[in-house]
Amino acid sequence: MTNSYKLFRPLALYTPALTAILLVAGCSLIPTYERPAAPVATQWPGAISTTNSENKSAQPFQAMDWKAFYADATLQELVTAALANNRDLRVAVLNIEQARAQLGVRRAAQFPAVNAALTGSRTPDGNGGFSNSYAAGLAVTSYEFDFFGRVASLKDQALAQYLASEEASQTVRISLMASVAQGWLNLLADEELLGVSRETVGTREDSLKLMDLKLQYGAASELDQRLAQSLLESARGTLAQQQRQRAQDENALVLLLGQPLPESAQKQLAGTTLASMHLADVPAGLPSELLTRRPDIRQAEQLLIASNANIGAARAAFFPNITLTAAFGSGSSELSGLFKSGSWGWTAAPQLLLPIFDAGRNQSNLEAAKAGRDIAVAQYEKAIQSAFREVADALAGRDTLTRQLAASQGLLQAESERTRLTKLRFDAGAASQLDWLDAQRSLFIAQQTLVQTQLAYLQNQIALYKSLGGGARGTEPAGQAVSAQ
Pair (384, 280) in one structural domain:
yes
User: Pairing relation of β-strands 344-353 and 114-124?
Assistant: unpaired
pLDDT at 61: 62
Q: Of 329, 354, 379, which residue is a domain's last?
A: 354
Taking only the tens place, the pLDDT of each residue in 335-362 is 666 777 767 778 888 888 888 888 999 9
Taking only the tens place, the pLDDT of each residue in 156-165 is 999 999 999 9
132 sits in the region (left: phi over 0; alpha: psi -120 to 50; else beta) called beta
Averaged pLDDT score across all residues of the chain: 84
Instruction: State the pLDDT confidence band at 207, using cuts at 50, 70 and 90.
Output: confident
Asked whether the predicted pLDDT for residue 56 surpasses 90, the reply is no
CA distance 303 to 325: 35
Report the percent of the chain where pLDDT is more than 70: 85
Residue 261 lies in a domain: yes
Q: Of 328, 354, 380, which residue is a domain's last?
A: 354
Residue 359 lies in a domain: no
CA distance 468 to 242: 33
CA distance 110 to 28: 14
Pair (26, 67) in one structural domain:
no
CATH assignment at residue 341: 2.20.200.10
Residue 203 lies in a domain: yes
Q: Of 354, 378, 412, which residue is a domain's last?
A: 354
CATH assignment at residue 384: 1.20.1600.10
Pair (209, 309) in one structural domain:
yes
Pair (272, 235) in one structural domain:
yes
In one letter, which amino acid is 262?
A: P
- Distances in Å between the Cα of 289 and the Cα atoms of 60, 150, 165, 270, 467 are 13, 35, 21, 41, 12
Instruction: State the pLDDT confidence band at 27, using cuts at 50, 70 and 90.
Output: low
pLDDT at 100: 94
pLDDT at 123: 83
Q: For residue 112, give the DSSP letter.
A: P
- Strand-pairing partners, residue 123, are 131
Pair (136, 160) in one structural domain:
no
Taking only the tens place, the pLDDT of each residue in 420-438 is 999 899 888 888 878 888 8
Q: For residue 31, give the DSSP letter.
A: P
Range of 8's domain? 1-30+111-145+320-354
pLDDT at 476: 46
In one letter, which amino acid is 180?
A: V
Asked whether the predicted pLDDT for residue 143 surpasses 90, the reply is no
pTM: 0.83
Residue 20's closest CA among 367, 336, 324, 402?
A: 324
Pair (136, 94) in one structural domain:
no
Asked whether the predicted pLDDT for residue 26 surpasses 60, the reply is no
Residue 224 lies in a domain: yes
Pair (72, 116) in one structural domain:
no
Residue 9 lies in a domain: yes
Residue 170 lies in a domain: yes
Lowest mean pLDDT among 118-132, 219-233, 290-304, 372-386: 118-132
pLDDT at 2: 38
Instruction: State the pLDDT confidence band at 415, using cuts at 50, 70 and 90.
Output: very high
CA neighbours closer than 13 Å in the CB half-sphere of residue 369: 25
- Distances in Å between the Cα of 68 and the Cα atoms of 171, 281, 312 are 19, 10, 45
- Distances in Å between the Cα of 242 and the Cα atoms of 3, 238, 239, 247, 362 are 92, 6, 5, 9, 62
CA angle 184, 186, 191 (to 5 degrees): 100
Pair (368, 404) in one structural domain:
yes
Pair (255, 377) in one structural domain:
yes
3-state secondary structure of 331: strand
Mean pLDDT of 54-59: 42
pLDDT at 48: 52
In the sheet that holds 130-145, the strands lie side by side as: 114-124, 130-145, 321-332, 344-353
Total domains in the fold of the chain: 2
CA distance 329 to 120: 13
CA distance 461 to 353: 61
Pair (336, 383) in one structural domain:
no
pLDDT at 165: 95
pLDDT at 116: 87
CA distance 287 to 290: 5
Buried b (16+ CB within 10 A) or exposed e, 100-126: eebbeebbebeeeeeeeeeeeeeeeee
Helical axes 150-216 vs 73-85, angle rounded to 10°: 130
Residue 168's closest CA among 76, 289, 78, 303?
A: 303
Residue 76 lies in a domain: yes
Asked whether the predicted pLDDT for residue 224 surpasses 80, the reply is yes
Pair (214, 271) in one structural domain:
yes
pLDDT at 299: 94
Pair (339, 437) in one structural domain:
no
CA distance 362 to 368: 10
Asked whether the predicted pLDDT for residue 234 surpasses 50, the reply is yes
Residue 43 lies in a domain: yes
User: Sign of torsion, CA 360 362 364 370?
Assistant: negative
Taking only the tens place, the pLDDT of each residue in 60-112 is 565 578 998 998 999 999 999 999 999 999 999 999 999 999 999 999 988 88
Lowest mean pLDDT among 72-76, 188-192, 331-335: 331-335
pLDDT at 189: 96
3-state secondary structure of 468: coil
